[in-house]
Amino acid sequence: MKTRPFYHLSEENEKELFNNSIIIFDTSSLLDFYFFTDENINELEEKFFKAVRERLYLTYQSHFEFLKNKDKVKMKPIDSYNSLLKRSKNKDDSGHIEEIENVVKQIASNIGDEIKGHLKTFEQKVSKNNKHPHLKSVDFNKFNKQLDKFKNQFNIFETNFEDFKQSIIKEIENQKTKFKNHEIDKVIPLIENYFNVTEEYSVNKIFELIKEGEFRYQNQIPPGYMDKDGKSGFQKYGDLIIWDEILNLAKGNNSNVILVINDVKEDWWYLDENKKHISPRYELIKEFKDNSNKEFWMYDISTFLFKANNYIATSIDSETIEEIRYLTEENTLEIDDKNFMEWVFDYFETHQIS
């Protein structure tokens, strides 16, 4: 590759990366698949996963986090369906049916009371011959008949709207039932069929990374330092463990790496004033280069799929990519925290160590 600034990726370098890199999905990008439609996932499987099967990887830490969080995340689309009906405190774009219903009720109330009341008062004010204002040519009777006709028509509309609302509620309940059925999981088969998972780190290795993480986090060396206050114990260092696994995977396979990550935090990305990512952090690109003498870059899932169409001819429909972009932007996932001692207990129980 030609010499270039670490923070810049030319079209030539990008094309080479897409054709010759290990492709790693992180926890956030995999969990976001639960927000995709069945049609989205089927298309990705046929047009993307099958095409790059040999190059797809998942770090053990990401796999661990995915399995720990998947059941909770699988239920999150239920909140999205509920928010179609009623306004959510945490979501401005919600409660559409409730808002429509409120407007319909308001119109119905205005026709019956507000308009009739104002019209009657107005007629009384202008109908007396002995004082002003006086409007003798206004046909109040005709307008009242038109208003009654409109009210009757709106009563029919109210009934039709109620039928419409009930049909939506029924369809939403059908969709929610699918998600409540834990036997249905559309993401696990993708992992089992298409992803290579790295080897699990030993507890001693994790303790070493925790010690390293203390220094890195104090000096805001990416990745992971944004989790130092929001998480506790072992999970505070999850991103650092993922990063270390990526470094070792690249060095062991003598390969460039593309990381598909929907976690938009400043300890992974340079962000603009609107919190949109611009490029991977310089420190990550340099550390990767120094460690393996290879190239590293990151993309969110929708940008990655768009680029894949350009460079490896995956032919994913542009509407599908746009749907995925919308869905991933609409849903911000919080990875569940777990106390370190709980994790140690789980570890030893899983590995039958007494």
Count of residues in the chain: 354
What phi and psi, each to the nearest 5 degrees, are found at residue 334? -105, 120
Percent of the chain with pLDDT over 70: 87
CB 84: neighbour CB atoms within 10 A?
17
Kindly report the number of other CB atoms within 10 A of residue 106's CB atom: 11
Confidence at residue 283, expressed as pLDDT on a 0 to 100 scale: 93
Segment holding 25, helix H or strand E? strand 21-25
188: left (phi over 0), alpha (psi -120 to 50) or beta: alpha
Which residues lie closer than 8 Å to 274 by C-beta, 6 or more apart? none
The β-bridge relationship of strands 269-271 and 196-197 is: unpaired
Q: Compute the average pLDDT of residues 316-333.
A: 80
Distances (CA, A) of 207 to 68, 201, 294: 21, 10, 27
Distance CA 228, CA 220 (A): 10
DSSP 128: -
Taking every pair of Cα atoms in the chain, the longest distance, rounded to a whole number of angstroms, is 103
Q: Is the dihedral of CA 86, 92, 97, 100 positive or negative?
A: positive
Nearest of 305, 226, 238 to residue 268 by alpha carbon: 226
Asked if residue 132 has pLDDT above 80, the reply is no
Q: Residue 81: what pLDDT?
A: 76
Euclidean distance between the first and the last CA atom of the chain, given in angstroms as a whole number:
51
Q: What is the DSSP string of 283-310?
A: HHHHHHHHHHS--EEEE-HHHHHHHHHH
For the question of whether the overall pTM of this predicted structure is more than 0.85, the answer is no
Res 117 pLDDT > 60: yes
Burial class (CB in 10 A: 0-12, 13-18, 19+), 107: middle
Confidence (pLDDT) at 277 = 83
By CB neighbour count within 10 A (0-12 exposed, 13-18 middle, 19+ buried), where does 6 fall? middle
> Tell me, what's the pLDDT at 7?
66
**pLDDT: is 242 or 181 the higher one?**
242
DSSP 88: B
The position carrying tokens 């047009």 is 47
pLDDT surpassing 80 at residue 339: no
Convert the pLDDT of each residue in 264-274 to its tens digit.
889 999 888 88
197-246 pLDDT, tens per residue?
999 999 999 999 999 999 999 999 999 998 887 676 778 899 999 999 99
Token look-up 């190059």 returns 55
- Residue 183 confidence (pLDDT): 57
CA distance 57 to 312: 18
Cα–Cα distances in Å, from 169 out to 36, 74, 84, 160, 279?
21, 20, 10, 14, 42
Q: Are 199 and 253 in contact (CB under 8 A)?
A: no
Residue 114 to residue 105: CA distance in whole angstroms: 12
pLDDT of residue 24: 98
Helix (H, G, I), strand (E, B) or coil at 23: strand
> Which sign does the torsion angle of CA 297, 33, 315, 189 carry?
positive
**Closest to 25 measured CA to CA, from 180, 257, 272:** 257
Residue 353 has pLDDT above 70, yes or no: no
d(CA 14, CA 20): 10
pLDDT band at residue 340, thresholds of 50, 70 and 90? very low
